[in-house]
Structure 1
Amino acid sequence: MLEKMEGRYLKTFLAVWEQRSFSKAAEQLGYVQSTVTVHISLMEEALGVKLFTRLSRGVEPTEAGIKAAAYVYQWEQLGRALEAELSSDGEPAGIVRVRLLESLCVSVLPEFLQQFLKGYPRIKLRLETGFMQDIAEAVRSRQADYGIVPRDPESDDLHFTRLMEDELLCVASPELAARIERFGWKSAGEEPVLSFGSRCMYQTAAGQVLSAAGADHIRYTEFASLDLIRQTTAAGLGIAFLPAVTVKKELLTGRLASIPLDCPVKLAYGLIERKDRYSSPAGETFKNSLISSFATFPIQ
């Protein structure tokens, strides 16, 4: 089998796996689509199994393809680590792939990222945002080296390192917050909850809090970014449930007000990684720098 396998076939496999499309994989790799088709066919022939099922629009991995992906990602990781080790002259180098929440990326990490990239110019960070379930799955499937999540996923195959504690706040414009505090949580049910969508744990927590308070017919309005949620909430167009660290400035300036919750919702951000992963020097440098940054400058 190994004598029939080439590294470019594996790279093509990963592109198809991530894009779920032969044409998009070809565009990503700079190939014509027929080249992608040939690479996957040769890989399937070498392995003796079908890796993808062709659909009317795109492809889906077969059960064998899902199993193969874990090993191909390990190959890619080791290849990147070997390349970095041989070319770095002792200085950490290479690509580190990180998945994290958009709210944390915008509010907490900019200063750390600036200092880290300045201190380690040969390390390239690939940052992608997503919801907690997506982040955990990306790390689990080796599509990401590390993930930063708002709580421990308590998964047997993932290691969780606590970074900081925070609290989920219910915020609104000062006028709306005063009205809700005066008339109670039931009146909050009249206002839409501004959120990132049903897959976001903040919206789930909002529903639980409002339902427990007796609010009926909870309405949600979905926005794509943290900044839009903060702006529309400050304009009095609804309430939002957001981590305290993301609205610290708005609370200090009076643009937003926090409505006390009967049962505070605690968050514990942490770094997740596969327990069995090989950690490259670049990855270890990123991990240790991030942990040290939060230990030195805790954001509570």
Structure 2
Amino acid sequence: MLSEWDGRSIRTFQAVMEERSFSRAADKLGYVQSTVTTHIAQLEKASGRRLFDRLPRGVEPTDAGMALARFAEQFAALSQALADELQRTEHPSGVLRIRALESYCVARLPRILAQYAERYEAVELQLSTGFMNDICERVLDGRDELGIVPRDPMHEGLIFTPIVQEQMVWVSATTDRANRSRKRAYISYGNQCYYHGVGEQLLREAGYTEMAHLRYPSVELIKRMVQSGYGISLLPLVNVTDEIRAGQLIKLALPVPEPIEHGFIQLRGKQLRPAAIAFIEMVCSGLVA
């Protein structure tokens, strides 16, 4: 029986119940009267019962019609609830998990995160930090919906969307502090970090093959160690601009890579939820502004 019913016929039935007339129901719905007659005939055939008595002046529901009316009301309420729920899913809500490089988070995201939280109160944004490989792995296995990485991973299971090109710079302590330091090390996040590998190759090509390596877990700690004269580091210019202007760090005349293109990654074939789309749009518009 249910497979032979449809929403339009139920809506027509309700209009006839309200108007007690096929012609007035047709006017209300914007149909020709023959369409109303067809819809009611379909319902009567599907139910195997006569739903309305045709009278000289209009129609009256039969007992079967009254029984159907109660279920039609439930059908209409369920239909509206479904429409409301689908509309709700069009608005950013729920938990949004993002993983990104720590240096990128520190330099680029604080203001954007605050604006996002204020605008989309229904979203619980969970941001974590990591390195290139584990960010890709977490997006691939579905633990995070979005990742922010320093280059296109060139993985068939991921879509890469460029965000911004980061200019890289070698920094050191001021000359006096650097001269007082007993050793000059290459300071970085360690082997897992994309920047580390790029910097290590540049140093090797420039002839610096015997430098010690110091590894620290945050860009702020790396900068502090460099400022103290312990060594040099290759970092995004955006992370050290204030320290260079304040004379706390100096730029070194060492070879630097081409600007590194950071971008979002998402799982190929999976539709992004509104919360993720809104975050991408806000990040991109914030960087342009």
Interval of TM-score (by shorter of Structure 1 and Structure 2): 0.5 to 0.7
The percentage of counterpart residues that share the same residue type is 33
Structure 2 residue 246 is the aligned partner of structure 1 residue 215: no
Deviation at 1:87, TM superposition (A): 9.0
- 1:211-250 equivalences under 5 Å are 211-250=204-243
Deviation at 1:104, TM superposition (A): 0.8
Cα pair 2:171 2:252 within 8 Å, conserved: yes
Cα pair 2:171 2:251 within 8 Å, conserved: yes
Offset from partner CA, 1:26-84 (integer Å, 9 cap, x none): xxxxxxxxxxxxxxxxxxxxxxxxxxxxxxxxxxxxxxxxxxxxxxxxxxxxxxxx9x9
Tell me how far apart the structure 2 counterparts of residues 162 and 218 of structure 1 sit (CA, whole Å).
34
2:99 corresponds in structure 1 to 99
Quote the RMSD (CA, aligned, Å). 2.4
SS in 1 for 2:167: strand
2:286 corresponds in structure 1 to 293
SS in 1 for 2:191: coil
Tell me how far apart the structure 1 counterparts of residues 89 and 160 of structure 2 sit (CA, whole Å).
31
1:137 corresponds in structure 2 to 137
Structure 2 residue 119 is the aligned partner of structure 1 residue 119: yes
Deviation at 1:231, TM superposition (A): 0.9
Structure 2 residue 190 is the aligned partner of structure 1 residue 197: yes
Deviation at 1:154, TM superposition (A): 1.4
TM-score (norm 2): 0.66
Deviation at 1:90, TM superposition (A): 5.6
Tell me how far apart the structure 1 counterparts of residues 176 and 272 of structure 2 sit (CA, whole Å).
49
Deviation at 1:288, TM superposition (A): 2.1
Deviation at 1:247, TM superposition (A): 0.7
Cα pair 1:177 1:257 within 8 Å, conserved: no
Cα pair 2:178 2:231 within 8 Å, conserved: no
1:24 corresponds in structure 2 to none
1:277 corresponds in structure 2 to 270
Cα pair 1:170 1:240 within 8 Å, conserved: yes
Offset from partner CA, 1:128-185 (integer Å, 9 cap, x none): 1000111111111111100011111111111111111112211001217987xxxxxx
Structure 2 residue 153 is the aligned partner of structure 1 residue 160: no
Structure 2 residue 196 is the aligned partner of structure 1 residue 206: no
TM-score (norm 1): 0.63
Q: Count residues with an aligned counterpart.
A: 205
Cα pair 1:171 1:177 within 8 Å, conserved: no
1:41 corresponds in structure 2 to none
The 1:250–1:130 alpha-carbon spacing in structure 2 relative to 1, beyond 3 Å, is same
Deviation at 1:207, TM superposition (A): 1.2
1:16 corresponds in structure 2 to none
Q: Which amino acid aligns with 1:98?
A: I
Q: Which amino acid aligns with 2:93?
A: A
SS in 1 for 2:209: coil
Tell me how far apart the structure 1 counterparts of residues 141 and 176 of structure 2 sit (CA, whole Å).
44
Answer with 96-105 or 216-225: which moved more.
Answer: 216-225
Q: Which amino acid aligns with 2:166?
A: D
Answer with 216-225 or 246-255: which moved more.
Answer: 216-225
Tell me how far apart the structure 2 counterparts of residues 102 and 228 of structure 1 sit (CA, whole Å).
12
Where does the alignment leave 5 or more consecutive residues of structure 2 unmatched?
A: 1-81
For the pair shown, which has the larger CA radius of gyration, 1 or 2? 2
- 1:33-52 equivalences under 5 Å are none
